[in-house]
Chain A
Amino acid sequence: MLRYTAMTLLRMVVTFFVIVTLVFFATRLSGNPIDFVIGQGITEEDRVLLTRYYGLDGSVWTQYLSYLRAFTDGQFGLSFLERRPVAEIVAERIWPSAQLLLTSIALTMVVSIPAGILAAIYRKGWVGSAVMTVAFLGYAVPNFVLATFMVLIFSYVLNWLPVVGNGTARHFVMPTLALSAGLIAALTRFTRNAMLDVLEQDYMRTARAKGLPERLVILKHGLRNASITVLSVLGLQVAALAAAGSVVVESIFAWPGIGDMLVRAALTRDYPVLQFGVLTVAIAVITINTAVDLAYAWADPRLRQTGRT
């Protein structure tokens, strides 16, 4: 287990450095921030002045070095627009996004794992069909359509739920549903299929033959073995959600999160914010993947021994 953990962590560090470098060069491909930060139509003299002010006058390598150096002071540079430490800006945004992500994951697991198991057990009955129909619908409707539709019904027409910001628990209802709908749909289907595979296995028959109660057979022998599939799907989906999935939903609900910040930073070419924002997301994705890797090891003893996935 120790060796496996060490390998996983090492992989994490290497991935991180590659991302740090990629982010720097990728953001610079998209145009000169002076055009965006200071507005359009400025004289050549002023352009030179501002290029120096924003520290964009050195060569790319000088800028790359000062970018790497910015990691050491814990501030990660100053935002072009706001002129305050990027770390402060990201810190403001990270918790709202994390809250939304966590409630969505929680809702997804609470709904889709039982639903998937039910759909597997009662695959021939109406329960199974009903679950799969809803899951199909959830999969087919994009989150921005669902979000807009919910806003129209529950806020505009019925006035039950607030639409702006993250002030109270009621503010979480629609954004969480919008974010988890796709996840729930996917995870329900995968849980069902994984359970179906497992339910056919010989050891399930053995467990039943030993006289174990059906509940224990399904949850311990069945779900434990199906969990590898469930975990990898959940890991992938959550990573995708953390990376970009929340952008539209955050925008619709005026949610002061990372996705919204990234879009604005990209549009205004606020490199320092964009770079660190992308890194934060990258770290989140790496962390999630690492957590999933470690969870595999927990779920599958074979991985602990070989140190390979």
Chain B
Amino acid sequence: MNRLLTTTALTALLVAPAFATDLNVAAANVSSYLDPGRDHSNVGSQFYFNTFDPLIHKDYSTAEAKWMPGLATEWKLIDDTTMELTLRQGVTFQNGDAMTADDVVFSLNRMYQATFAPYQVRSRDRLENFAEAEKVDEYTVRIKAKRAEPLWETLLNLQQVFIIPEDYTKGLTGDPKVAEDSDYEAFSLAPVGTGPYAVSEFVPGQKIVWTRFDGFWGDKAPLDTVTVTRVPEIASRLTALKTGEVDMITNVAPDQLALIESEPAMHAAGSATALFHVMIMNMNHPKLKDARIRQAMSLAIDRDALNEALWLGKAVVPSTHTMEEFGALYMPELQTFGYDPEQAKALLAEAGYDGFEITFDTAPGYYTNGLLAAQAIQEMWAAVGIKGRINVDEKWSGNSPDMMARNWSNPMYFADPFGSFGVMWAPGGPSESEGRFNTDEAYKASWDRFRYSSDVETRRAAYAELMDRIQKDPPVLPLYRPYESWAMRTGVTWVPQAGHIPYVLDFRAGSITVE
């Protein structure tokens, strides 16, 4: 009887609305600053979605692009290059300011017409087509693109154009009427948005506390507070989960999954992250100018074996630089990359490879399994006769003319091939600019059609042309989408959702339940 009473009382407590629901998360890393505009790091992506909203939301539970009203309730093209958006009324920022067209125009133009260096850098690779945003009235804004834009919704859903308050930001330092660089720097230590959780405490690199924002325009947040603390050691994160100090942990390595599944009080959730670990090869290295050498370096690598050995088969090995999140632009039918050691040997012989040493650079701990993959690749190269040498160094060598091959990653910054391959391998983009990748007029023409054509079939055809070029003269080999896991105590239900960019900790209504 006593037990029944206790159980009933507990159940009553759990369902009672007055019961505070707090979540403690131990994360491998916590951001050093919180500004969705200048950040595109994997560490940062974890934290923005709970606090900020874009103009256009999407159904994040699916990889398909189902656009939904966000801070804009309607949007329509009024000519080829102008989008008019009707803003949601009654939205307040977490500091109490009402959101108006001024805030939206300010947030967008801080990126579209950036004067702050980190914004300039961030907008160049993805927002270059946007000229400006302008206010029509209190709840209507127009956005002008330079050229017809096929990816309006995608690029208005982007983390970098989440909406921030104008007056608050400008008033942080100096002249309250002017947006100074120091305002943006101060904002990133005390961020304010319109999302369901306000950042109530932020110790850079150490701790973030979210408190439910009751003035949120959408469904009320399911948790009262969330505390994310940095716990760099995986053994300590796991122990903290076991002892009940935390309810959830991030960045669980694949080899820990069996342990978690064997514990009755905890469980894991994971997915193949929308990010490729890749091998890059320097087209302009004097010894690698012959494309056949680089093709052989690529064909010698058995990526499925890497997946089985390093990721328990849970990673995803792509046939080309594509992800299912790309929707209509997902093109798994392209066979750009494969494993063919015989052909690799033949190509090496044709190219007259004389056994010179090929270096493979890797940082010791930057990518999960990065060094192990490098060692396996060295062995696979040896099997076709390539003499490889691993060069372990913290330093980024992707911009060095001496770099021959190294590991890197190509994340999906937004759900389109432009948001992954397109950012990294654009003409004049980072890879070409670092001097290890070349483009010509034909590549530029294909890239332009892929980027700007309004017709999906034309975009697909152009992307196939680009992949063909990458196959014939390879600068990159996507190895796999790494499998990333989170673990949580029994009673917490959360999964990484397919509609997000990698690593987002989404604690909005419908995304997490805590008992």
Contacts and interface: CB of A to CB of B under 8 A. Distances in A.
Interface of A: 31, 35-36, 38-46, 49-50, 52-53, 78-79, 81-84, 89, 92, 148, 151-152, 155-156, 159, 162-165, 251-254, 256, 260-261, 264, 267-268
Given A42-B430, A46-B124, A256-B206, A251 B189 contact: no
6 contacts: A42-B430, A50-B121, A84-B185, A92-B206, A164-B26, A267-B394
A293 to B, nearest CB: 36
A36 B32 CA distance: 13
A141 to B, nearest CB: 17
Contact of A83 (B33, B124, B232, B239): B33
A43 B424 CA distance: 10
B230 A31 contact: no
A251 B237 CA distance: 11
A44 B33 CA distance: 24
A83 B245 CA distance: 31
A78 B181 CA distance: 13
B124 A159 contact: no
B121 A49 contact: yes
Interface in B36-92: 40-41
A164 B229 contact: yes
Given A45-B433, A163-B243, 4 more contacts: A40-B396, A82-B33, A84-B204, A164-B246
B235 A151 contact: yes
B242 A156 contact: yes
B431 A41 contact: yes
B172 to A, nearest CB: 12
Contacts of A155: 239-240, 242-243
B241 to A, nearest CB: 10
B276 to A, nearest CB: 13
Nearest to B431: A41
Contacts of A41: 398, 408, 424, 430-431, 434
Interface string B210-234: 0000000000000000000111110
Contact of B124 (A36, A43, A78, A148): A43
B429 interface: yes
B424 A252 contact: no
B245 A162 contact: yes
Contact of B394 (A31, A44, A251, A260): A31
Contact of A92 (B121, B203, B246): B203
Contacts of B118: 38, 50, 53
B395 interface: yes
A271 B238 CA distance: 32
B33 A253 contact: no
A44 B204 CA distance: 29
B430 A159 contact: no
Central interface residue in A39, A41, A83, A148, by most chain B CB within 10 Å: A41
Q: How large is the interface on B (under 10, 10 to 19, 20 to 34, 35 or more residues)?
A: 35 or more
Given A41-B430, A46-B121, A254-B230, A164 B236 contact: yes
Contacts of B124: 43, 45-46
B32 A251 contact: no
A43 B398 contact: no
Contacts of B395: 31, 35
Central interface residue in B125, B206, B239, B244, by most chain A CB within 10 Å: B239
Interface in B229-267: 229-233, 235-236, 238-240, 242-246
Given A92-B203, A159-B242, A83 B188 contact: yes
Given A40-B396, A254-B233, A264-B205, A84 B189 contact: yes
B200 interface: no
Central interface residue in A35, A43, A156, A253, by most chain B CB within 10 Å: A43
A254 B429 contact: no
Contacts, number: 119
A273 B312 CA distance: 40
A174 to B, nearest CB: 11
B4 interface: no
Contacts of A40: 396, 398, 408
Contacts of B240: 155, 162-164
Given A81-B32, A159-B242, A253-B236, A35 B428 contact: no
Nearest to A46: B121
Given A31-B395, A41-B424, A163-B245, A148 B121 contact: no
Central interface residue in B203, B204, B233, B431, by most chain A CB within 10 Å: B233
Given A49-B117, A159-B243, A264-B205, A151 B394 contact: no
B120 interface: yes
Given A52-B117, A163-B243, A43 B41 contact: no
A43 B244 CA distance: 46
Nearest to B238: A156
Contacts of A78: 185
A251 to B, nearest CB: 5
Nearest to B184: A83
Nearest to B207: A256
A18 B41 CA distance: 37
Given A83-B33, A155-B243, A163-B245, A36 B236 contact: no
A251 B433 contact: no
Interface in B340-389: none
A50 B117 CA distance: 6
Nearest 9 Cβ contacts at the A-B interface: A41-B430, A43-B433, A81-B32, A53-B117, A83-B185, A254-B231, A35-B396, A46-B121, A82-B204
A163 B238 CA distance: 10
A267 B29 CA distance: 13
B407 to A, nearest CB: 11
Given A163-B243, A252-B233, A46 B120 contact: yes
A254 B242 contact: no
Central interface residue in A42, A251, A254, by most chain B CB within 10 Å: A254
A81 B33 contact: yes
Contacts of B32: 79, 81-82, 268
Given A52-B117, A164-B246, A251 B428 contact: no
B433 A44 contact: yes
A254 B398 contact: no
Given A36-B396, A53-B117, A252 B185 contact: no
B277 to A, nearest CB: 13
Contacts of A82: 32-33, 189, 204-205
Contacts of B399: 35
